[in-house]
Structure formats: structure tokens, C-alpha cells
Structure 1
Amino acid sequence: MTGAARRLGAAVLRDLLRHGVAGEFPVDRIVAVDLREPRPEDRVEGVETVRADLRTPEVASLIARVRPHTVLHLDVLAAPAQAGGRTAMKERNVIGTMQLLAACQKSPSVRRLVVKSSAAVYGCASRDPALFTEETEPHRPPRSGYGKDVTEVEGYVRGFARRRPDVAITILRFANFLGPDVQTAFVDYLSLPVLPTVLGFDPRLQFVHIDDVVQTIRAAAGETRPGTYNVAGAGVLTLSQIARRLGRPTFPVPAFTTSTLGAVLKRTGLADFTADQLSLLTYGRVLDTTRLGSRLGVTLRYSTAEAVTAHAGAAGLRPLISRTAVATAEQRLTDMLADRAVRRQNGVFGEDEGSNGVGDWKEDG
């Protein structure tokens, strides 16, 4: 498994050790590969850890020595900060995948390959369909950033599939992650005290809880049902609905200022926003996940709304105005309006006061 030193990798390792892989073979040896050593809290006992740079030919000797049956390629980074810059991120995503696939192609032991991809391959555009199926071609393919990286990664995987038709290949296109200890650009955005939005747009969004991500990867590793699968929690939330659930006020900004806003957020360290993230906040994206359940047999535990709620609780996101205060204010307003109606019906107010409402509000304070 590549990308083992990050929190997702550690969660997948623990899950594999706890449950094994549902399918035709048990887990008897796991080799965790990453460029750096895992942090103490991400170390997993019972796993063989190897430091290796996928961009170099050393990955070929590693595959030849380990002779794996299943390869889980999770080392596809979503943000430049995770790799130390955009150039290093692209090298790890694209060059690293090329080297890994070249090594797997030469290894007769490899029979299964699972690749972590992203819904970012669909891009974001004003003419996008209401639902993206796995066969939907994007109106505006990603031309930069993470979206372009995962598009190239999937292209190399398809080439590998033609050269090694005996290998069962599964590509998982995930929506944005949410949940405990998840650190992404979108999580940084949701943590801002005020959520900047694009003026005139209210995008439809989906999320997937980190526990469902781990479950899906385990299922894909154990089931011989190759293919490409969209993975997202059921249901849809608009950005305005998410802001209300988190108790965050929004601040609309003109579309032509979004790139400047993203640069400011990045320089101040508040959020690592890229162009594809800003496009998502403008147009949104919704996935059709029918195939995930009908073919791979995975039923996600969390809907999109439940993933947002669970993430807010785990991350300690508290509304700037408490829900109790909002409910109290609503009840006071309802009682005041009801009292006003009763008093008017009973003729408490004069005709002039009843017509313009001035007396009502003065007497009620």
C-alpha cells in the first residue's frame, strides 16, 4: 500500500488488520510504503513499513522483492502543501504512478490494483449535468492542479489495463472527505469564521465520510469486481445549507475576485485553496453512485448531510450564534406576532395604529 504514512493510510491499515479483506483471500502480510516515516500516532503495529520514493526506479526492486498480490495506490495527493509545492505534488502524483505501474507490469504476482482517484476528474463548469455517472465526459476537463493530475493518473492506469488484462483494476473516484482528523483545503474553508462565497452562485455539493472511504477501499481490495466507481454520501447540500448547518455567516464576493481571495487565504495560512477548489465553490458537482451499491456492493454509512454533521462535531466547529439563541429569538418573534394578532382582534389598538403597526412595536418594546 502506497501513501501509508498519512492518516488515511493509517486508517486503512488498521481496518485491514482488524477485518481482513472481504473476499477470496486473507491478509497475511501488509507492506506499507511512503516517502516519509509515519508520525507516532499513525504507526500501525503488525505492518512492515518501507521508505521508498515512487518517483525513482527503487520501486521496481521493491515490487520484485515483495511480490504482492494486491496493490493499493493511495499516494495521490490533493493539495500542494502535502507535497511541499505544486511541482513536487505533480511529480509524486504522475511520475510516481508511472513508476509504480511500470513495476507492477513486470511483476507476475500482481493480480489486483486499487487506485484512489477523485471526482475532480469531471472538472467544474456551468454546463455540467445534474449528475455525473462514471461514463460522463466533462464539458471542461481539468487543465491544472489536482484535477489534471488525477486525469493523467487514470490515463496511465487505463494503459496499464491494456498491457495487463489479467489484473483486476478498480478506480475509486471520491468526493471531498470529511470526518475526524481530516485535513483538506475544503475542511480549512469550512473552518473559517466567515465563509466567502461566489456572488450569484449556490453550488450543490457532496461529501464522503472518512470511515466510508476506508470501508470502500477495503471492499475494492477484496472483491474481484473491477471498474470505475463514484463514491459520495447520498443526498446533496447547497453551500448555503452547509453554512447554516455550521452556523457560519457567508460573504459573497464577485467571481473575478476569487483567484485573489484564494491567494490571500493561502498566504495567510487560513486555507490552501487552488483553482479547482474555487471552481467547485462556483459550480458544484454531484455524483451518481448507483454503481457503487449495485456492482461493488458497498452501502455507505453516512449521507452527505450526516457527514457534515459528524465532521462538525468531531472538529469542534461551533456556530458563531448558538442554535439555542436562534431558537429563542424565533420563539419570541412568533409569540410577539401571535400576541399582536390577538390584541388587534380584540380591538386593543386604534385604527391608525393598527394600519401602520407603529403602536404595536412600540408597546412591545
Structure 2
Amino acid sequence: MGKVVLVTGVARQLGGRLVRRIQREPDVDRVIAVDALPPEHHLGGAEFVRADIRRPTIGKVLAEHQVDTVIHMDVTGTPLGKRGSRASVKETNVIGTMQLLGACQKAPAVKRLVVKSSTSVYGSAPRDPALFTETTPPKSLPSGGFAKDAVEVEGYVRGFARRRPDVAVCVLRFANILGPCADSPLAEYFSLPVLPTVLGYDPRLQFVHEDDVIDVLLIAAAEPRRGTLNSGTFNIAGDGVLLLSQTARRLGRPTVPVLLPAVTWVGSALRATGITDFSPEQIRLLTHGRVVRTTQMRETLGFHPKYTTAQTFEDFARSRGPGLLPPDVLARTVDRLAALLPVAARESEERQPHGRRQGHSVR
């Protein structure tokens, strides 16, 4: 008998892809796909069970099918298909995880748990370190939104691991997931015709390709290979970083710098019109950025992403089509403006009276 794998959050594209892919693993016998809503995509030969993980019925599903491996994908920052609300998403993230872990604790057959988390647990603050490791405490804990959900979820997972030390628990903290099928607030932001940015800031960003997300989830759910260990907490991201200004150039989309105090108002306006969920946590990310170290991902988990951060973004950009301006034209324009600014500043200074240029008032 092979493994019986239960996957939550299968109504979303990423969960559906994982279900279809994991069925091809030679050591997997059955896949139980769970979600509160029926998926619009096919799930291959998996058995779909319509169940809300916020309800105790999830325990019956685990017991009935003798599940030994659980992959918890239903931790997300956006409602499915624009339906629902922030409150319902938080309930699924937090209450749903509590119910699922409670059911796993009572299910003796469960031997492996994989949880999809996020690097947003580190927050984004002006005094952040250049690189976050898995053990780096955040300078400022997330105060709301999906980032706070992820922090709470991980807290419950740590409690479960203490109560069931016989279960191999793997938490994967993903950087911003992008790709042709990406469905996230950041993907919506990059799809805007003009990108609002915070004046005076050009944050460093990391991305992970959705194909690599599937591959690392398979590794985490499988028996560890020799010399690797797939239990613990791991940062997952593609090599390298991109500045926000570089992403705008590659998209061919102009930016509109906004003073930091006004960014919150812009975000509220975008949310009110339903264009994108420009949340406070996303504003902080687009102000201060976030970069994580992935040494443990490579050396301990044994995973090497196929896509770098730049390649991930290029694939995403191709799927979104051309922007308002050709990327090469936009890049040349930005470079010319950047070159002109020091010249304009120097000419302005030379036109001032000598005393004012030296910082003294002219009487």
C-alpha cells in the first residue's frame, strides 16, 4: 500500500496543480482533495471531498480515508475568485488550521504534515536585516492581514509538533509566488497599468515560481533522501533579488511615486474600487522590501529552484502581456531622467547667490 495524501485548498489553481502532480508520484496510492467549494479545474484521479476545514467534519475525513500525509495549502491572503471577505479568509487561515491540526492530532495514521506559509511572517520594517534566516526574529511583528494570519498559523503548528513528536512537520515559508497562473494581491498590483510606488523608496523583492512551489511541496511530502531532512521550517525563494524599479521596467509600466502619508489613501481607493487589495502589509513590503536567506532550503531540504527571482518575474511578465510602454523605451527614458537630475540640480545651485549656495542667508 502506498501513501494516502490529503491536500487542502484544492479549489485554487495552485492546490489543483499539486493534486494533479502528486498523483504521479510512485509511492502515492491515493489523493484526497479537500475544499469548501468545488474546483472549476479537473483534479485527475483524485477523490474530491467537499468539506470546510473550519468544521470538525475534517476529522472524519482523515479517519475514514486513513490519511498518513497532510499538505495544508489553504493558507492564503485572498478570497477565492473574488468571493468572500477578509474575515472569511482569516477564519479559514486561523480557525481552519486549528481544526485541521486538532483532527491530525487525533488521527494516529498521520505521520507527515506540510504547511504552506509565507516569508511575510518576518514583516517589513525600516531596520530589518539585509537577510532574514529562519531563526531571525522580526523587528516589528505583523499587526494585521495575511502576515498576522501566517504568524498565528505557525504558532499553532509548533504547538502541534510538540504534542505529536512522532509526526514529521515541515513549514515552507514562500517568498512572493509568481507565474502565469499567479493569483495574489502582489500579482494584481503588478497587473495595474500604472504602478503606485512610495516616493524615495526602491525596495528589494524576492519571488518564487509556481512551478518551484509544486516541486518543493513534493519534496517536503516525500520520504527524505539520503543526506537531507524535510522536517523543520524553510525559507523558499529564487536566487537573487529585483528592485521595484527594475520590475516596473521589465513590465513596461510607468510608476507614480506617492508620498508615504498618502499611500494609505491610495490603497484604500484601490480596494474600494475593487481594482486590487492594496493592503497595509503590501504597502510596507513595497516600502521596505524583504529578502530571506535560503541556505537551509538547499543544504538541509535538498531543494534547488529551477527559476531565479529574475526568471520568475520574466515568466510572469510575459503572461501579463505588454505594458503601456515597451520595456526598452521605458528603461531608456528612466535612465535619461536619472542622468538629467544631477545636472538640473547642479545648474539650479549655480544660479543661486553665492551666499545661499554656502548655506548662509543673504541679507
TM-score normalised by L of structure 2: 0.86
Distance of aligned partners of 1:62 and 1:261 in 2 relative to their CA distance in 1, 3 Å threshold: same
Which segment drifts farther, 223-232 or 162-171? Answer: 223-232
1:251 aligns to 2:250 (yes or no)? no
Identity between Structure 1 and Structure 2 (%): 52
Which segment drifts farther, 61-70 or 202-211? Answer: 61-70
Aligned residues of 1:181 and 1:315 also touching (Cα < 8 A): no
Equivalences for 1:246-325 in 2 at 5 Å?
246-316=251-321, 318-323=322-327
1:4 aligns to 2:10 (yes or no)? yes
Aligned residues of 1:178 and 1:311 also touching (Cα < 8 A): yes
Aligned residues of 1:79 and 1:89 also touching (Cα < 8 A): yes
Shift of 1:320: 2.1
Distance of aligned partners of 1:327 and 1:190 in 2 relative to their CA distance in 1, 3 Å threshold: closer
Aligned counterpart, 1:69:
68
1:113 aligns to 2:113 (yes or no)? yes
Distance of aligned partners of 1:328 and 1:192 in 2 relative to their CA distance in 1, 3 Å threshold: closer
Equivalences for 1:40-55 in 2 at 5 Å?
42-55=41-54
Aligned residues of 1:77 and 1:83 also touching (Cα < 8 A): no
Aligned residues of 1:223 and 1:296 also touching (Cα < 8 A): no
Shift of 1:324: 6.2
Aligned counterpart, 1:127:
127
Shift of 1:17: 2.1
Which structure 2 segments of 5+ residues have no match?
Answer: 1-6, 225-229, 337-363
Aligned counterpart, 2:36:
35
CA distance in 2 between partners of 1:146 and 1:313 (Å): 27
- CA offsets, 1:76-122, max 9 Å, x none? 12125656112111111111000000110011100000000001100
Aligned counterpart, 1:157:
157
TM-score normalised by L of structure 1: 0.85
Which segment drifts farther, 245-254 or 156-165? Answer: 245-254
Which structure 1 segments of 5+ residues have no match?
Answer: 334-365
CA distance in 2 between partners of 1:33 and 1:154 (Å): 21
CA distance in 2 between partners of 1:308 and 1:48 (Å): 34
CA distance in 2 between partners of 1:143 and 1:289 (Å): 25
Aligned counterpart, 2:94:
94
SS at match of 2:266: helix
1:56 aligns to 2:55 (yes or no)? yes
SS at match of 2:102: helix
2:235 to 230, 235, 238: 230
Aligned residues of 1:59 and 1:103 also touching (Cα < 8 A): yes
Distance of aligned partners of 1:17 and 1:80 in 2 relative to their CA distance in 1, 3 Å threshold: closer
Count of matched residue pairs? 323
SS at match of 1:75: coil
Aligned counterpart, 2:146:
146
Distance of aligned partners of 1:323 and 1:204 in 2 relative to their CA distance in 1, 3 Å threshold: closer
Distance of aligned partners of 1:98 and 1:319 in 2 relative to their CA distance in 1, 3 Å threshold: same
Aligned counterpart, 1:14:
20
